Structure 1
Amino acid sequence: MADLTKPKWYKNKTLLIVLFFILPPLGIYGIIKRKSTGWKTALYIIPATLLTFFSILVVVTAIFMNPYKDGIDYYNKHDYIKAYKQLKMVNSDDPNYNDAILKINEIKPIIDSITKEKENKSGFKIKTAPTKETTKIDLTNLKEFQKKWSDSIVNSWEGSFIIRSKLLAPDTIYFELSKGATKSYNSNRSQNLPMYESNYRKSLNNKFGNLYDSVKTVIDFIPNKELAKSNNSNEWTHPVLMNRGLKIYSGNEYSKDLIGTLSCKFKNKNDGNTYYVILKSNGSSIDIVEYEFRSYYWIRKNDSNYNNANGITKCF
């Protein structure tokens, strides 16, 4: 008899409200079984139905989403901002992960240029991707010129500085640097790249006058692909946890060289700065001031001492 008088689950308003959020279909079924008035049924069912639809949409999107494919599609369309966002979402266990990393390294300079142009308040225009006006001009001669010009730059270096070029004509010309040049990648971009930009514009104007002035072409260096591939950004970080025995590397995000192991630290009484002492393999040591050590040096995340509780002692 007790079972016959026990309240039905769908009579419980609190339970129904909870079900609408965590299991909408069951909540809808409950409100129908409850036999509420028409307006109350609509009040509950409409938002629950929308929530169900949204949940299904999220699941389906997650299943069929392919950030690598989408990123390559945007890359081929020269929509580098969207390509960059999609390729950054590629997981490390994806078979296309290494190619995604290479593409990211290629288009990152363009993203940086676009960002700088937006932030530039001096009125100086930084070269970015082409506008719609580009399509109104016959670009055949321009593409041929870009190919010959970039090849001449590569040949002039014979692999000692620039090893190859890559054209995404007509809006982008990349020069891949040698391993040695990649070790000074940032300084080469800031000091040497302007010379090539100037040479390109001068050569173009000498041949075609102002015919292609409306075509904004990005010229940039890209790091050596072999080095970039072996320097996966997910495997490296700047020193945060200071543990004795950490292997310390110098370099940039594309190229790194082992300099020694972290030994101890001390505070210089003369300048008040904290220094970290790195022991080299030959027995000598190098002192690095703290702000430089944290910003410009690198450690591997899989270093056995990375998450160790060793700590670091003061030098005696």
Structure 2
Amino acid sequence: MGRVLVLGNAGLDLTLRLPRLPLKGETLLGDSTGRAPGGKGLNQAVAAVRTGMPVVFHAPVGHDAHADEIEAALKAEGFAGLELHRMPNASDFSLLMVLPDGDNSIASAGSCAAAFTAAMAHTVAATAAHGDVMAVQGNLTKASTEAALIEAKARGATTLFNPAPLWWDVRPVLAHCDVVVMNSGEAQTVTGRSEPAEAAAFICDQGAGFAVVTLGAEGCLTYDGRVLHRYPAPVIEAVDTTGCGDTFCGVLAAMLADGRAHHEAVALAQSAAGLTAQRPGAFAALPNRAEFAALVAQHEAGR
């Protein structure tokens, strides 16, 4: 059994429920608001640690009260290691606009994540070892992300890359990735292929070992360069899909570090994401330890 090392962003999620997205120049009133720790890195790290696996989380934050709030929440999660790198910037945040059908749009401020250097990322990844899973997202710069992937892979860790949000060309770093997770829209943008199966094949053609394309209510598909698998989504009534991708990635990383086969890790990640979709918010909707233990028990009973 290895560890999960997550390097990514951490901030605050400000949630606003809206009847629709505002038009250009329009002020639109929402009917409720929320506030919680967030960021793709943070959510994935929390989803992973709630599986019971040892997780080490590194993230850049500011020197402000928001960072103190984030740190206090994370200390309650029981990480094997937690290092919040204090940067000379305001802490990052995201505005989550949630629509009545549970779909969402997100706008983020990421000056702390952008300021995290390649040298810092290399130092973090140098702590990886054989059997560990190193998980990174798209919030950091290309240079920092690439440095982390290369160093972790060189040390025998499995590298998992979830490139959202897409703000730089991710194709050159795919060759350093053992596992790549994208949703269908991201996969089309990165690969130029509108068919998810073709997009997954393109990702592997670029050097990735295992591609996962998530399809929302249609489940997901995987490709390992030889075999294409499709996984149906659990039948649920979605309330808010905000944190589903992060739950999926965090649980997938944890299950791979636990030594589970790809198909089993993906199935558990999909089931956990289904739990998140049935609740509002992102951080508050991540499955807790008891819920995940029940998922594992149900999965193993159904073998």
Larger helix share, 1 or 2: 1
TM-score by length of 2: 0.22
Q: Which has the larger radius of gyration?
A: 1
Instruction: Tell me which of the two structures has the higher relative contact order, counting C-alpha pairs closer than 8 angstroms and 6 or more residues apart.
Output: 2
TM-score by length of 1: 0.21
